[in-house]
Structure 1
Amino acid sequence: MSGNSSLFYSTVKYSKSGGSTVTAILVMDSGSTVYSSGASNVASGASKSYSFGGKPVPSSCRATGGMTVSGQGYFWTPSLNPC
């Protein structure tokens, strides 16, 4: 993540190392809003990334990237401070 006084830019990347193909949606939670990519099938050995572009810096100065996998729920990265 990088930031300035009004916007932050983020990219979430998921690399699948084994198992069967999953349907994943990459997400960015800014506290008040959850931004998401479209759904993608990700096979073993493949990667998927999504850039969320300029988003307003959250008032909490915390943003968390992650993904939701069909039938398995959400998986989150540690929160970062874009301020």
Structure 2
Amino acid sequence: MTALLLEERGRRGVRLAFADRGPGIADVDLALTDGWTSGTGMGLGLSGSKRLVDDFVLDTTPGAGTTVTVTKWGR
């Protein structure tokens, strides 16, 4: 995980990036569907994260891993 504090146009925020070298995500739309899980989870990880932040970027390549970058700005 990497973390970056941001300041832009008078506002402050934080950007976090999470990366793995796993199998990647074959079907991103399905993975972002509430309730869908690839295992025993609740199926709210990616979709819930996306709802909680201001910017959500998912970069994945099947067989090469996934990086999720989220940004949240202060109010």
With normalisation by structure 2, the TM-score equals 0.34
With normalisation by structure 1, the TM-score equals 0.32
Higher strand share: 1
Higher helix share: 2
